[in-house]
Amino acid sequence: MELFTSLRGWLDERVDLEGLAALARKKTVPSHRHSIWYYFGGVTLFLFIIQVCSGILLLFYYRPGEDTAFESIRFLMSKVQFGWLMRSIHSWSANLMVLAAAIHMFSVFLTKAYRKPREITWVSGVLLFYLTLAFGFSGYLLPWNELAFFATKVGTDIAGSVPFVGGAMLELLRGGEQVTGATLSRFFGFHVALFPAIFTVLLAVHLIMVQRQGMSTPIGHEKSSEETPMPFFPNFVLRDVLLWLIVLNILAVLAVFFPWELGVKADPFAAAPAGITPEWYFLFMFQVLKLLPSHVLFLEGEVFGVLVFGIAMALWTVIPFFDRKSQRGQQGRFFTYVGIAVIVFILFFTILGWVML
Amino acid sequence: MSDSTSPSKRRTLQMLLSAGGTALLAAIAYPVIAYLKPPKLSGQSVSSVGLGAVDEYAPASATLFRFGEKPGLLMRYQDGSFRAFSATCTHLDCTVQYREDMGIIWCACHNGKYDLEGRNIEGPPPKPLDEFTVIVKDGEVHVTES
């Protein structure tokens, strides 16, 4: 105990622990009937930390390459102690992270927490969300199985159909004209080096903004706050930690009882297997692309689809700058309806895609 | 000393600095961009492949084959004639297959359908499949680029 006190004293002299503690004591979180949504950002962060840890562990056995990737994962899952568990946790946690991030993003949207002065938090958050999807897409190919191979062919071909820059983008992504071992090398580089580096910077911006500005209170709840604000420490932190524990348990149950399968090794010269689908979070796009006719107006169906999704994603990123009413702190219906329409659209086509499998 | 802060010297220095900075950025960016562009490998492009004896292919059957880096689909019809197509779906690059039960060439990824002549007949494919030229010589099947 004495050692702890003297260590604390030593640190306090150098990094002003007392100042940090005073800051933590002062920090509060608004309390109202929409407070529940505050926790999903933390859950996403928790799952990201799990991704980093389990990803590093997978790196100890994974060997990228057309002839080694699938085999190394098979070895990991069949011979390495708890190898199957590490991989299952990484895959399940990735899926849960996409879900948590989506809930976080849409709840922020519907409570208009993106409004002035939190535009930077919103933009960095949306970019983090897109990057999360990119993590999912690039990681999906790494075991080099049949499903991943064709998902990557389709996904990169979609990037290739973007007017003007498509061809260069396709080559950049694939490392050649076709999906080959060169693509695997690149996706590995994206997944474990490039994306984590960008993600870290964006996450730092996002978290610093949240710390500096505090949580947003929904319009109309500022004055009539039903309860007094909750102290961040320990009240909010303890609730956060409890939820993290619950999420960890859900993750463990999923990873153990529904272990992630490896599938069949990719054969670049075999036909695409029947019943091929992407991950659930791309299912709505997949379904829309499936239903688009071969030509829309003067464009090929896929080009039309890519343009519409691309523009929609760009607009979604900068939506705080369009929502003038919420910038002035007034309640408005229009952007609420836009958010609900987007959610209904995604849910409808996801369910349709799932039913029509 | 007053000379060193004169507006014209300042402008010159600013110009030199920004020109130097731009040159530095370009000197870094150009090799990086060029590095990211994969080199064309010799042997990647193929203009013709031999696919073995005619007898190896039953009438009313289809076989996937390798044409350089791309998959191809060799069709042998009921009357014994051959045609070959690129097996890459014109929609989003998946590999198509012959469906005997449906009597079509089918893409599993987005349910694209082509007739046995490679024409897009249903679903999202915007164009017919690219066709190769099949040459049967001395009982051997050869496929070349059209």
Residue range A167-219, pLDDT digits in tens:
999 999 999 989 999 999 999 999 999 999 999 999 999 999 999 998 888 88
| CA angle centred on A18, ends A17 and A23, rounded to 5° | 100
Which residue from A225, A345, A130, A310 is spatially nearest to A122, judged by alpha carbons? A130
Mean pLDDT of chain A: 92
Query: Which segments of A16-113 does DSSP mark as H helices, in order?
Result: 17-26, 39-59, 69-78, 83-110
Q: Which fold has domain B48-145?
A: Rieske Iron-sulfur Protein (2.102.10)
Give the torsion through C-alpha atoms of A317, A321, A322, A328, to 10 deg.
Answer: 140
Cβ–Cβ of A269/B109 closer than 8 Å? no
Residue A244, CA distances (Å) to A35, A38, A188, A259, A345 in order: 17, 13, 29, 21, 30
Residue A197 — left, alpha, or beta (φ > 0 → left; ψ -120 to 50 → alpha)? Answer: alpha
Interface of B with A (CB under 8 A): 36-38, 44, 64-66, 69-71, 87, 91-97, 107-111, 120, 123-126
Phi, then psi, of B93 in degrees rounded to 5: 80, 5
A:B CB pairs within 8 Å? 85
Which residues in chain A are closer than 8 Å to B70, comparing Cβ atoms?
A: 178
Top mean-pLDDT range of A192-201, A287-296, A304-313: A192-201
Report the pLDDT averaged over residues A351-355: 91
Asked if residues B137 and B146 have their Cβ atoms less than 8 Å apart, the reply is: no
Cβ–Cβ of A269/B64 closer than 8 Å? yes
Asked if residues B47 and B125 have their Cβ atoms less than 8 Å apart, the reply is: no
Please report which confidence band the pLDDT of residue A33 belongs to, taking 50, 70 and 90 as the band edges. confident
Give the chain A residue whose CA is nearest to the CA of B120.
A294
| B35-65 b/e (C-beta count within 10 Å ≥ 16 → b) | eeebeeeeeeeeeebebeeeeebeeeebbbb
Residue-level pLDDT at A53: 93
Asked if residues A154 and B92 have their Cβ atoms less than 8 Å apart, the reply is: yes
Residue-level pLDDT at B43: 58
> If chain B, 146 residues long, is cut into consecutive pieces of 10 residues, what is the mean pLDDT of each piece?
72 94 91 85 76 91 90 92 94 92 92 93 92 92 90
- What CATH number is given for A30-277 in this structure? 1.20.810.10
Cβ–Cβ of B109/A271 closer than 8 Å? no
> Mutation test of the interface with chain B: which of A146, A153, A171, choosing the one with the most B Cβ atoms within 10 A?
A153
Instruction: Tally Cβ neighbours within 10 Å of residue B134.
Output: 18
Residue A139 has pLDDT above 90, yes or no: yes
Query: Which segments of chain A does DSSP mark as H helices, in order?
Result: 2-15, 17-26, 39-59, 69-78, 83-110, 119-141, 146-160, 166-174, 181-189, 195-213, 237-257, 283-291, 301-317, 324-327, 334-355
Which residues in chain B are closer than 8 Å to A169, comparing Cβ atoms?
A: none
Residue-level pLDDT at B42: 65
Q: How far apart are CA A69 and CA A213, in angstroms?
A: 45
Asked if residues B58 and B76 have their Cβ atoms less than 8 Å apart, the reply is: yes
Q: How far apart are CA A150 and CA B109, in angstroms?
A: 8
Judged by a CB distance cut-off of 8 A, whether residue A271 touches chain B is yes
Q: Write the pLDDT tens digit of every residue in A90-103.
A: 999 999 999 999 99
Report the pLDDT averaged over residues A238-251: 94
Asked if residues B85 and B95 have their Cβ atoms less than 8 Å apart, the reply is: no
Residue-level pLDDT at A297: 82
ipTM score of the complex? 0.72
Locate the domains of chain A by residue range.
30-277
Can you read off the two tokens belonging to residue A141? Answer: 């190919």
Which residue from A197, A149, A169 is spatially nearest to B36, judged by alpha carbons? A169
Residue A15 has pLDDT above 80, yes or no: yes
Asked if residues B113 and B104 have their Cβ atoms less than 8 Å apart, the reply is: yes
> Mutation test of the interface with chain B: which of A277, A290, A291, A303, choosing the one with the most B Cβ atoms within 10 A?
A290
Which residue from A28, A153, A114 is spatially nearest to A335, judged by alpha carbons? A114
Report the pLDDT averaged over residues A219-234: 76
Cβ–Cβ of A153/B93 closer than 8 Å? yes
Q: Which residue has the higher pLDDT, A296 or A142?
A: A142
Per the DSSP assignment, residues forming a β-bridge with B97 are B106
